Amino acid sequence: MEVGLKLTAVRAYSKQLFIALKHLRNYGVNEAKNVLKLCDFGNVMFAGKNEVTPYLVSRFYRALEIILGLTYDHPVDMWSIGCCLFELYTWKVLFPGATNNDMLRLHMELK
């Protein structure tokens, strides 16, 4: 049986991530790469200058706005963090779809 990190560790990591995202948001920066480390700004964008593409972010952590090709902002980072925290705690990918359509189906089936 695979078990993820202890809840206390997940809580500590999540606190650090949310503080880092708050600082990024205060400076108008979007880090849309969903990487746990916040030193990699390869896909960083300033707020309001986001390129709309359905293939930004690794698909397991991709928010619906990105999958659907809609405009997006900071909430997509919150979505990605939620998916990461679930994975850290359970050792399972929350939405293990193979394509964007697969991901949409999994989102709709979640109860």
pLDDT tens for 48-73 read 565 666 667 788 988 898 899 888 77
pLDDT surpassing 70 at residue 92:
yes
| Helices 7-26 and 75-90: angle between axes, nearest 10 degrees | 170
Specify the pTM.
Answer: 0.67
The residue extents of the domains of the chain are 7-109
* Position with higher pLDDT, 6 vs 39: 6
**What is the predicted pLDDT for the residue at 93?**
94
C-alpha to C-alpha distance for 94 and 51, rounded to whole angstroms: 26
Rounded to an integer, what is the distance from CA 103 to the centroid of its chain? 14
CATH topology of domain 7-109: Transferase(Phosphotransferase); domain 1 (1.10.510)
